[in-house]
Amino acid sequence: MKKNEYFSKKKSKVYIAVSAFLIFFLIFSLVYFLWSLMRYNEAMEKKEEKEAYVAELKNEIQRLEYMLDAPLDDEFKIRIAREKLGMCFPDEIIFYSNYD
């Protein structure tokens, strides 16, 4: 057996081992990247949902602060009677809708 053939066989085994490791590493890196990208997208969706919820709560706070600061005049009493108690004036025409 020639000296070159012996070293070329050794190199080929090492080359195969290194190639297999690199292929495994590339596949693992690709899978990990895609998994991380999916988790990032999920986190961004949750963030958007939570931001929308915070905006809704801020609007509700503003509405309640306005109601709290509103004077207790007749207009305020009428609005509360309509919204909370479902009351109306006797001469009003009431329209009902199934769409809420």
Question: What are the tens digits of pLDDT across the range 7-33?
Answer: 555 567 888 888 999 999 999 999 999
Interatomic CA distance for residues 90 and 82, integer angstroms: 13
Q: How many domains does the chain have?
A: 1
Q: pTM, whole model, 2 decimals?
A: 0.52
55 domain-assigned: yes
**Tens-place pLDDT, residues 86-95:** 888 888 877 7
Structural domain for 67, as ranges: 3-85
Interatomic CA distance for residues 56 and 50, integer angstroms: 10
Structure tokens at 83: 């919204």
56 domain-assigned: yes
User: Phi/psi zone of residue 71: left (φ > 0), alpha (ψ -120 to 50 degrees), beta?
Assistant: beta
Structure tokens at 19: 């190639």
Structure tokens at 40: 């990032």
99 domain-assigned: no
